C-alpha cells in the first residue's frame, strides 16, 4: 500500500495551511513550503515537558521585520523606527524556513545566564521570537512570557536583547553587557531548531 505525504504528514500540512492563512490575514501573500515533519514527530514534540510548535519565517525580502511589526500593530516600536535599532545585530534570511520553538507559557531555563544559554542551546533570534509570539497567540489565544523574560541570541551592540509580554504586545529590552553573566529568577531562554522542507 502506497502512503502519501497527506497520510503521514497531515499535522504538518495543517500547520502549513494555517500559517499561510495567518500571513495572508496580516497582508502577506507568500508561498509556504511543506515542512518535512511526520505526525509522530509532531505529536512527540507537542508532548515534551517543554512543548514545541512549528513556525515559519519568510525570506526577509518577502516579509521584513519592520513590515511584520507594522502588520501586528507594533510599527511604532523602537526596534522599527528608532535610531538605536542600528545597534541591533539583525539576521536577514535569503530563504524562508521552518523552525521548532518552545512554547511553554513561562520561559524555560530560568536562572541561566545569557552566556550559559548561548553555549547550551540555540536561542531564538529577535525576528524569530516576534513570529513565535504572535503566531502562538493567534493559534491558541495565549500570550507567552507574561511573568518571565526570554533571552534572545540577537546582539545589541556589546550586549543582547530579551523580550516579554507587556499590555498584550511584545516588549523588547536591551540589557547591559554585565548582565549577560548574571542569572535571574525571571529570565530564561527558548530553544529553537531548524526544520527541513519536504522535497
Separation of first and last alpha carbons in the chain: 21
Considering the chain, what percentage of its residues have pLDDT values greater than 70?
A: 95
Phi, psi of 189 (to 5 degrees): -155, 140
d(CA 145, CA 156): 20
Place of cell 502549513: 16
Please give the average per-residue pLDDT across 107-124, as a whole number: 96
* CA distances, 152 to each of 39, 122, 192, 197 (Å): 29, 9, 11, 25
- Residues 6 or more apart whose CB falls under 8 angstroms from that of 27 comprise 71
**What pLDDT does residue 199 have?**
53
What are the structural domain ranges in the chain?
Answer: 5-195
**What pLDDT does residue 3 have?**
46
d(CA 93, CA 25): 22
Please give the average per-residue pLDDT across 104-112, as a whole number: 96
Q: What's the pLDDT band for 198 if we cut at 50, 70, 90? A: low
pLDDT tens digits for 178-189? Answer: 889 999 899 999
Please give the average per-residue pLDDT across 28-40, as a whole number: 95
List residues bridging with 156 in a β-sheet.
88, 159
- C-alpha cell at position 26: 496580516
Considering the chain, what percentage of its residues have pLDDT values greater than 90?
A: 88
Question: Is the confidence at residue 197, as pLDDT, over 80?
Answer: no
Q: Strand 187-189 to strand 149-156: parallel, antiparallel, or no bridges (unpaired)?
A: parallel
Question: Is the confidence at residue 4, as pLDDT, over 80?
Answer: no
d(CA 97, CA 196): 8
d(CA 133, CA 126): 11
pLDDT tens digits for 61-91? Answer: 999 999 999 999 999 999 998 888 999 999 9
For 24: left if phi > 0, alpha if psi spans -120 to 50, otherwise beta; the answer is alpha
Question: Is the confidence at residue 27, as pLDDT, over 50?
Answer: yes
Q: What's the pLDDT band for 196 if we cut at 50, 70, 90? A: confident
**What pLDDT does residue 2 have?**
37
Please, what is the average pLDDT of the chain? 93
Q: Strand 52-57 to strand 169-175: parallel, antiparallel, or no bridges (unpaired)?
A: unpaired
- Residues 6 or more apart whose CB falls under 8 angstroms from that of 148 comprise 106, 107, 110, 164, 186, 187, 188
Amino acid at each position: 500500500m502506497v502512503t502519501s505525504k497527506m497520510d503521514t504528514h497531515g499535522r504538518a500540512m495543517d500547520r502549513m495551511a494555517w500559517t499561510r492563512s495567518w500571513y495572508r490575514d496580516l497582508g502577506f501573500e507568500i508561498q509556504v513550503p511543506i515542512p518535512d515533519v511526520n505526525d509522530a514527530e509532531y505529536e512527540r514534540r507537542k508532548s515534551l515537558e517543554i512543548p514545541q510548535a512549528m513556525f515559519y519565517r519568510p525570506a526577509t525580502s518577502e516579509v521584513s521585520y519592520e513590515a511584520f511589526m507594522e502588520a501586528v500593530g507594533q510599527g511604532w516600536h523602537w526596534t522599527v523606527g528608532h535610531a538605536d535599532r542600528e545597534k541591533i545585530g539583525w539576521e536577514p534570511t535569503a530563504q524562508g524556513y521552518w523552525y521548532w520553538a518552545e512554547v511553554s507559557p513561562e520561559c524555560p531555563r530560568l536562572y541561566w545566564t545569557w552566556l550559559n544559554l548561548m553555549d547550551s542551546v540555540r536561542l531564538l533570534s529577535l525576528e524569530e521570537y516576534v513570529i513565535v509570539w504572535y503566531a502562538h497567540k493567534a493559534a491558541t489565544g495565549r500570550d507567552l512570557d507574561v511573568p518571565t523574560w526570554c533571552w534572545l541570541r540577537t546582539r545589541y551592540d556589546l550586549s543582547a536583547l530579551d523580550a516579554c509580554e507587556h499590555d498584550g504586545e511584545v516588549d523588547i529590552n536591551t540589557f547591559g553587557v554585565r548582565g549577560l553573566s548574571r542569572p535571574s529568577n525571571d529570565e530564561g531562554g527558548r530553544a529553537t531548531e531548524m526544520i527541513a522542507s519536504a522535497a
